[in-house]
Amino acid sequence: MKTSLTIAGSDPSGWAGVQADLGAFAAFGVRGLSAITALTAQNGVRVKATLVTPAAFLTRQVAVLMEEFNINSVKVGMTGSSANVAAIGRLLRKKGLPNCVLDPVFRSTSGYPLLDKAGVAAIRRILPLAAVVTPNLAEAATLTGLKVRDVEEMELAASVIHSYGPAFVLVKGGHLKGAAVDVLYDGRGYNYFEAGRLRGGVPALHGTGCILSAAIAAGLAKGAPVEKAVMDAKAHINRVIEERGR
């Protein structure tokens, strides 16, 4: 069995974060490991508080896992602090962790800030270490300083983020007005994926980005090319969204 590691925050509601990531890994038949970047006090509607893990302890979590497991892919979600981002960068560089899927979480679905400006700048510095970066519209705008409101602007944002160094950029369009589409860019051309329309209230929205990025990481762990991993992950998250909307 292949192994994927999620480095992310804990969501006690189970909708998002490490808990959602582990569920996505299991759905793809991949053994899931986790390193916690932050504890959160939240439910399906809002985040009330966070408690960030010290960077040294985050590093210990990953190091001890690597003593026992061969890690085939890594999903990075909520990081919590610039110090944690820097620690993750060191782990990716020095430990040779493969197939990193970076989901740049800056705010919760309900609007609670989860990373400060220094942390955002630190995320930009580790983008060259990512196989795939998966920002939503707001995250793409934060990373680039551009307005990202339609498919054309998503394409531009994807090209700018790609210039920062990651191999692939997937800009998620679930919050687009009108038809929802995700845009994947590899530096040569664009692929387009239909995005499940988010509905049913905040719990239906909450955690879908976590699940998508974890599903991509699971596909990469099993040896799928990025395009195939994204296609399979999209099919999975569309099913999840449909089930939540019932």
Whether the per-residue pLDDT at 54 is higher than 70: the answer is yes
**For residues 33-62, average pLDDT:** 96
pLDDT digits (tens, 9 = 90+) for 162-191: 999 999 999 999 778 777 899 999 999 999
pLDDT of residue 63: 97
Degrees to nearest 5, angle at CA 23 with 17 and 29: 135
User: Which band of pLDDT confidence, cut at 50, 70 and 90, is reported for residue 111?
Assistant: confident
pLDDT digits (tens, 9 = 90+) for 177-229: 777 899 999 999 999 998 766 555 545 568 999 999 999 999 999 999 999 99
Is the distance from CB of 176 to CB of 137 less than 8 angstroms? yes
- Report the C-alpha gap between 173 and 176 in whole angstroms: 5
- The DSSP element (H or E) to which 75 belongs, if any, is strand 73-76
pLDDT of residue 175: 74
- Sequence letter at residue 200: G
**Structural domains of the chain in order of their starting residue, each with its CATH number:** 3-244 (3.40.1190.20)
Whether the per-residue pLDDT at 107 is higher than 80: the answer is yes
Torsion angle of alpha carbons 198, 138, 106, 171, nearest 10°?
70
- pTM reported for the whole predicted model: 0.95
The rounded mean pLDDT for the chain is 93
pLDDT of residue 101: 98
Strand partners, 107: 113
- Report the C-alpha gap between 30 and 4 in whole angstroms: 7
As a whole-number percent, the residues of the chain with pLDDT over 70 amount to 95
pLDDT of residue 246: 66
- The DSSP element (H or E) to which 35 belongs, if any, is strand 31-42
